[in-house]
Amino acid sequence: MARQHYGHKKHMNKFTITGIIVLCAVLCFTVLYHKSALDAKCREYKSQISELKKEKKSVDERKEDLKEFEKYVDTDEYVEQIARERLGLVYKGEVIFEPDDSK
């Protein structure tokens, strides 16, 4: 009777080892699947970072242009230009020639 019990224990060990191997394989495949999903997300995020860096560079350039324009707006030259264009400023003794649109 002791032999049957021993044989049963040996048989259970094979199932236990097989179960552990199957469990390890499932865990490995699960980890590999999630790793590949994370790698894809990482590539996507790197692409987004690259696009955002380009956008930031463009915004920084626009900001510099606006700073330059702001400096120009504070000049007498700009004020005179706007006064001439929008308000028709003419200095004393200045003659304005306009094109003849009738032709």
Expressed as residue numbers, the domain containing 47 is 2-87
DSSP of 41-94, one letter per residue?
A: HHHHHHHHHHHHHHHHHHHHHHHHHHHHHHHHHTSHHHHHHHHHHHH----TT-
Structure tokens, 91: 């200095």
- Whether 93 is covered by a domain: the verdict is no
- Whether 98 is covered by a domain: the verdict is no
- Whether 103 is covered by a domain: the verdict is no
The CA distance from 46 to 87, in Å, is 53
- Whether 101 is covered by a domain: the verdict is no
Instruction: Indicate whether this model's pTM tops 0.75.
Output: no
Q: What does the pLDDT look like over 55-94, one tens digit per residue?
A: 999 999 999 999 999 999 999 999 999 998 888 888 888 8
- Whether 94 is covered by a domain: the verdict is no
Domain count, the chain: 1
